[in-house]
């Protein structure tokens, strides 16, 4: 049975939800599923925008057939060739062998690398700023390199203001019958999934996202964009400024909120107890927007997501084999890989002999750009004692002063 929805006049969503996948890209947990979005435009010519993952290929093909209702498929626009969107291209070619493919030259290279034997006569390679008319609708093509693959582009319908934004403005989470962001409680239920998607999938490429936003503003005009149609998550037809503002924060590595994220690495509970004491002392100083995480039991994608949300970070780690506790070290490696910037960090080291984790974490953080590491650093020897209260008070004072100073 088909399951498609009308997006706007002449345009239909023909994607599908995936609930069985446990790990997106075989790394990021999916507790609420994910959608694979694709779109069909019915004009004088018919146009398919992207395909879908193998896992939902049967539903996707059923939807495309139902929308076409016997009409041929004339064009297929490929904005992004990552396999979760390009896997079903061959299924399209088998059913509509005369379809013309519109994509970028780099995408053609990657498609051939993935084993799609494309007939060069069947491919229309578009350049930056090119457009194609399909009847009433004219589509302009804007390159979006490294958002988040090098071949990516976005497609803008100059007739109705729809931007087919590829992986930009996407989100984890299945749609479950909804389609538009205004049909869900986005700020209450979806924003964490959207942030976790952006920060872990696209987060490294903030400058490229900023470049795309600026290009969209200059080439098509932000005021002319009436709808955002991403390849994952809901479509935006209202309050576009909300999600664009979020993307601007994330892409420029500016925190969304003043708050403290405390991430601890504890073998036997002593470092955890010290982190709890610090959280209580921050609350006593009026800093109540705090979150505690056990780095060993929290998937790093959730840590990265909240790291893009909060302004301040505390890293509290036990020393392990004269180094940083491995899960904490992995977290630091991910922070570097995703180009984290513009945060204030406080450090708490611990250990029973040769406690070196604080100094080693500082060395790792000093490799990041625009990271303010507070001078106040403390070391817990085996466990926190009353003798340490002045040190942890000084650390709490420094964090609180930093937050309150930034609030002025």
C-alpha to C-alpha distance for 80 and 93, rounded to whole angstroms: 17
R_g over Cα of the chain: 24
| Confidence label for 131 from pLDDT (cuts 50, 70 and 90) | very high
367-389 pLDDT, tens digit per residue, is 999 999 999 999 999 998 998 89
Residue 304, both tokens = 């990265």
pLDDT, tens only, 358-368: 999 999 999 99
CATH architecture of the region 259-403: 3-Layer(aba) Sandwich (3.40)
Asked if the model's pLDDT at residue 407 lies above 60, the reply is no
277 class by beta-carbon count within 10 Å (0-12 exposed, 13-18 middle, 19+ buried): middle
Please report the pLDDT score of residue 163 as a whole number.
96
Residue 379 falls in which region: left (phi positive, over 0), alpha (psi -120 to 50) or beta: beta
Strand-pair partners of 164: 155, 229
Q: What is the mean pLDDT of the chain?
A: 95
What is the tens place of the pLDDT at every residue in 167-191? 999 999 999 999 999 999 999 999 9
Is 5-251's fold the same as 259-403's? Answer: no
- Say how far apart CA 153 and CA 128 lie, in whole Å: 9
Residue 384: its pLDDT value, please? 87
**Domain spans of the chain?**
5-251, 259-403
Per-residue pLDDT at 214? 86
For residues 286 and 264, give the distance between their C-alpha atoms in angstroms, rounded to a whole number: 22
Q: Report the interhelical angle of 357-365 vs 326-337 (nearest 10°).
A: 10
| pLDDT tens, position by position, 50-73 | 999 999 999 999 999 999 999 999
Secondary structure (H, E, C), 229-254: ECCCCCEECCCHHHHHHHHHHHHCCC
Q: How far apart are CA 408 and CA 402, in angstroms?
A: 10
DSSP 357-369: HHHHHHHHHTTSE
List pLDDT tens digits, range 317-354. 999 999 999 999 999 999 999 999 999 999 999 999 88
What stretch of H or E contains 293? strand 290-294
Is residue 408's pLDDT more than 60? Answer: no
Structure tokens at 381: 């020897």
Tell me which of 3.90.1010.20, 3.40.50.300, 3.60.15.10, 3.30.1360.120 is the CATH number of domain 5-251.
3.60.15.10
What pLDDT digit, counting tens, does each position of 290-300 carry? 999 999 999 99
Percentage of the chain modeled with pLDDT above 90 = 92
What pTM does this model have?
Answer: 0.94
Query: What average pLDDT does range 134-155 have in this prediction?
Result: 95
Which residues are registered as beta bridge partners of 75? 47, 100
Lowest-confidence region among 208-222, 226-240, 255-269, 329-343: 208-222
Give the pLDDT score at 201: 94
What b/e sequence results for 93-118 when a residue is b if at least 16 CB atoms lie within 10 Å of its CB, and e otherwise?
beebeebbbbbbebbbebbeeeebee
Q: Is the peptide bond before 148 cis (omega within 30 degrees of 0)?
A: yes
Contacts of 291 (CB under 8 A, 6+ apart): 259, 260, 261, 262, 306, 310
Kind and range of the H or E run holding 379: strand 369-381
- Kindly state the average pLDDT of the residues 66-86: 97
pLDDT at 406: 59
């Amino acid at each position: 049975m088909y399951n498609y929805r009308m997006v706007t006049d002449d345009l239909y969503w023909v994607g599908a939800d995936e609930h069985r996948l446990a790990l997106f890209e075989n790394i990021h947990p999916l507790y609420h599923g994910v959608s694979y979005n694709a779109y069909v435009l019915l004009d004088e010519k018919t146009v398919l925008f992207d395909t879908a993952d193998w896992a939902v290929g049967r539903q996707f093909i059923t939807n495309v057939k139902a929308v076409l209702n016997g009409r041929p498929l004339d064009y297929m626009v490929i904005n992004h060739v990552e396999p979760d969107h390009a896997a079903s291209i061959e299924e399209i070619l088998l059913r509509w062998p005369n379809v013309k493919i519109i994509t970028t030259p780099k995408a053609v290279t990657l498609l051939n690398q993935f084993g799609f034997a494309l007939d060069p006569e069947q491919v229309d390679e578009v350049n930056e700023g090119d457009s194609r008319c399909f009847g009433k609708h004219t589509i302009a093509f804007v390159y979006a390199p490294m958002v988040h693959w090098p071949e990516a582009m976005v497609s803008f319908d100059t007739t109705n203001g729809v931007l087919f934004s590829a992986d930009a403005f996407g989100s984890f989470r299945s749609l479950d019958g909804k389609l538009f962001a205004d049909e869900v409680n986005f700020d209450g239920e979806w924003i964490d999934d959207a942030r976790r998607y952006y920060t872990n999938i696209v987060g490294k490429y903030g400058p490229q996202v900023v470049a795309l936003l600026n290009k969209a503003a200059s080439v098509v005009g932000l005021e002319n964009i009436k709808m955002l149609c991403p390849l994952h998550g809901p479509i935006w037809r209202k309050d576009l400024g909300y999600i664009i503002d979020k993307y601007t924060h994330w892409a420029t590595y500016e925190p969304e909120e003043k708050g403290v994220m405390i991430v601890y690495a504890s073998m036997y509970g002593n470092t955890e107890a010290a982190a709890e004491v610090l959280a209580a002392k921050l609350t006593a100083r009026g800093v109540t927007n705090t979150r505690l995480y056990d780095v060993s039991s929290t998937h790093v994608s959730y840590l990265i997501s909240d790291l893009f949300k909060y302004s301040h970070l505390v890293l509290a780690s036990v020393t392990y084999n004269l180094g940083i506790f491995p899960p904490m070290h992995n977290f630091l490696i991910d922070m570097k890989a995703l180009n984290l910037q513009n945060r204030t960090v406080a450090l708490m080291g611990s250990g029973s002999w040769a406690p070196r984790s604080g100094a080693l974490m500082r060395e790792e953080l000093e490799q990041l750009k625009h990271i303010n590491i507070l001078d106040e650093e403390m070391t817990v020897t085996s466990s926190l004692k009353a003798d340490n209260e002045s040190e942890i008070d000084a650390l709490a004072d420094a964090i609180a002063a930093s937050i309150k100073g930034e609030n002025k």
